[in-house]
Amino acid sequence: MDKEGSVQRFLDLIRRSHRGKFKIYIGMSAGVGKSYRMLQEAHQLLDAGVDVCIGFIETHGRAETEALVAGLPLVPRRRLFYKGKELEEMDTQAILNLHPEIVVVDELAHTNIEGSGNPKRWQDVMQLLDAGISVITAVNIQHIEGLNESVQEITGVEVHERVPDSVLAMADEVVNIDLTADELIERLKAGKIYRPDKIAAALKAGGLSPDTLKPIYTCPICRDEGYLFEPSRHMCTCMERELNRRILGEAGLQDDRQTFENFREEIFSDVPGRNGVSPRQTALLARNVCQAYADSFPNTSPDNLLLTGKSGLGKTYLLCCIAHRLADRGVLPVYTSAYHFLELARKGYMENSSAPLSPLLNAPLLLIDDLGTEPLMQNITITQLFNLLNERQLAGLHTVISTNLDIPELKERYTERIASRLTDSTRWRKLTLSGDDVRRKLGGAKA
């Protein structure tokens, strides 16, 4: 280590020990309360006997902020003429001469008037710190150099007054002051950020329109409260839809991409089969019928749908499409796999109770997926399935079933009594999908 280098490092260490402490209040925008908090802190320090003064504060005419200035020692601003106008700047030299223990300096990113000692206020602050004066200051995040590109990308506004990241890195303490967007808008409307006659100009300077102050609701009917109160308190349809979506998610239908709008007919072959109809045509027909069924529910004709065809042709996807469309309309269908149905049926049989199957018996729309994949249990599967279909039919309730079995296979597995109900064209419409398994084209999604 050379002698000169060692001496310089020792001098730097001494200077740092004599340097003032640096505290920064950071906020997302003007009006969140940075100046207010600095003044509150100044009063607390003054009450504690600390030598503190105001080097520069910008109240923007806010009554609450101006009230806090009262009683605090202020360093008079320096007046100078620039382009024919008398302007005011912080008097850095006066602060250095006064040498308080702590000084409050607002608007760290400010650009000084031409002819000032330093081009930027943050440079004035560095000068005060080097002189052993502690500084409390404030800045908005859009003025931080390292965030400038992100701010411009998000807001479309280029911020010219910037503070280097290295200045923030020197801070001994950084305090984040924040408000919600709604709270900030309310403060702006109430004139607590800018005077009412200055609001339009402030918005324009920020690249914003006056419409920015108008609230934007996801649901204009209830204004995102979830409830309406006329003629009496009741749940809004937006809340019903959201609850239905969550319930569908708990039932295994959480993928809300499975909608009619996302149905991809191009993944089905357009080569005609033996009957002269291509798999794509049968898929489109099934999609259109299911969509019309969901849109017209409960005034459907007929009441029920039976989707047949080999596995991997989109039957489960279409059941999900129906479920999500109805959930968007505020109707909650009940979805069950055939295996889960059997589990409920077995539980009801063992307990000699209809309670386990009650949700399936009473649902406005019941979706049964993969009928035929469940085990056949003596005195349970066929009997409970017949009772379920029969009681729902008598109650005028709607049912949609998907199965890999064709009609002869349904008869063989479930007996003529059940198959005859599923093939009753006055109550059921059968849709048969054809072609090769398309699940690989769907990225492995259940079809």
Among the ranges given (103-112, 161-170, 191-200), the one the predictor scored with the smallest mean pLDDT: 191-200
Residue pair 314/439 in contact (Cβ under 8 Å)? The answer is no
Q: What pLDDT sits at residue 396?
A: 93
CA distance 282 to 294: 18
**Pick from 119-128, 149-158, 175-184: least confident:** 175-184
Residue 256, pLDDT > 80, answer no
Whether 141 has a pLDDT exceeding 80, the answer reads: yes
What does the alpha-carbon distance between residue 387 and residue 379 come to, in Å, rounded to a whole number? 12
- Cis bond leading into 375, ω under 30°? no
Structure tokens, 188:
């702006």
**Residue with the larger pLDDT of the pair 138 and 32:** 138
- What span, in angstroms and rounded, lies between the C-alpha atoms of 411 and 413? 6
Question: 77, 95 in Cβ contact below 8 A?
Answer: no
Q: Which pLDDT band holds residue 443 (cuts at 50, 70, 90)?
A: very low
pLDDT over 70 at 384, yes or no: yes
* Average pLDDT along the chain: 84
Weakest mean pLDDT among 213-227, 285-299, 376-390: 213-227
Please report the pLDDT score of residue 129 as a whole number: 94
Average pLDDT of span 199-209: 57
pLDDT of residue 127: 95
Per-residue pLDDT of 390-408, as tens digits, reads 999 999 999 999 999 999 9
Q: Which residue has the tokens 């000169």?
A: 4
Cα–Cα distance measured from residue 194 to residue 61, given in angstroms and rounded to the nearest whole number: 7
pLDDT recorded at residue 116: 86
Which DSSP state fits 376?
P
For residues 267 and 441, give the distance between their C-alpha atoms in angstroms, rounded to a whole number: 7
Looking at residue 197, its pLDDT comes to 63
Percent of the residues in the chain that have a pLDDT greater than 90, as a whole number: 48
Q: What are phi and psi of 357, to 5 degrees?
A: -90, 0
Check pLDDT > 60 for residue 63: yes
- Between 347 and 200, the higher pLDDT residue: 347
Closest Cα to residue 212, out of 190, 192, 191, 188? 188
Q: For residues 258 and 245, what is the distance between their CA atoms, to the nearest angstrom?
A: 12
pLDDT value for 374: 92
What percent of the chain is predicted at pLDDT more than 70? Answer: 82
The model carries a pTM of 0.50
Tell me how far the alpha carbon of residue 339 is from its chain's centroid: 36
Element (H, E) at 318: helix 315-328
* Confidence (pLDDT) at 34: 87
The pLDDT of residue 361: 93
Residue 386 has a pLDDT of 94
b/e 252-261 (16+ beta carbons within 10 angstroms → b): ebeeeebbbe
- Specify which of 194-198, 209-213, 245-249, 286-290 reaches the highest per-range mean pLDDT: 286-290
Residue linked to tokens 């308080």: 100
Residue 122, judged by CB atoms within 10 A of its CB (0-12, 13-18, 19+), counts as buried
State the pLDDT at residue 285: 95
Closest CA to 336 of 319, 348, 350: 319
Phi and psi at 306, nearest 5°, equal -125, 115
| H-run or E-run covering 104 | strand 102-105
At residue 444, the pLDDT reads: 45
* H or E stretch at 327: helix 315-328
The listed range with the strongest mean pLDDT (227-236, 279-288, 332-341) is 279-288
Look at residue 409 and give its three-state secondary structure: helix
The end-to-end CA distance of the chain, in Å, is 73
The backbone torsions φ and ψ at residue 29, rounded to the nearest 5 degrees and listed phi first, read -165, 175
The pLDDT of residue 3 is above 70? no
Please indicate whether residue 243 or residue 105 has the higher confidence score (pLDDT).
Answer: 105
Q: What is the pLDDT of residue 225?
A: 78
